[in-house]
Structure 1
Amino acid sequence: MTGGASHEKASTTVPSAFGWCAWHKGHAEDLRLIQIHEQGSGAGGNLFACGPCRQAHHLVPLADRP
C-alpha cells in the first residue's frame, strides 16, 4: 500500500496551514509563523507569511531560527 509511505513522508515535514498572510494581505496555503506580538496593554497577535512572501521578503519562520 502506498498510503503508508505517504504518511511517513508527511510526518517528517513541517505541517502547512491555510490562513491569512500578513505580508500580501490575503488568504494562502503554506503559512508559517514569523512574528509574535506580545500582549501588553493592547491586543496581542501573530503574523504569518506564505511561501512566496517568505522568499520575497527573506522571512525566517520562528521554528527555523536558532
Structure 2
Amino acid sequence: MQEAIQAQEDEDTPQGYGWCSWHEDYSGGLRLIGIEEQGTGPGRNYFACKPCREANNLVPFADRP
C-alpha cells in the first residue's frame, strides 16, 4: 500500500483549490500570499500554488513574522 508523502509544512497548513495568481490557472495546494486593501470597493487576495511559491520565492502570508 502506498502512502502520500508530503512536506511537513503542508500537513498542518490549510490549503485549498482555486485560482493561482501567478500562473493564472486553477490549481490545488494554494496558500494566501498577499492582500490588497482598498478604501472603497472590494480588495483583492493573491494566492499561489506550491510550484509558483517555490519558483518565485513567495512566502505565504501566515508564515510571515
TM-score by length of 2: 0.77
Q: Highest CA radius of gyration, 1 or 2?
A: 1
**Which residue matches 2:43?**
44
**Which residue matches 2:5?**
none
Gaps of 5+ in 1: 1-11
**Which residue matches 2:18?**
19
Higher-strand-fraction structure: 2
Structure 1 position 20, deviation (Å): 0.2
Gaps of 5+ in 2: 1-10
Alignment coverage as a number of residue pairs? 55
C-alpha RMSD over aligned residues:
1.3
Once the two structures are aligned, what percentage of the paired residues are identical?
A: 56
4+ runs of 1 displaced by more than 4 Å? none
**Which residue matches 1:31?**
30
TM-score by length of 1: 0.76
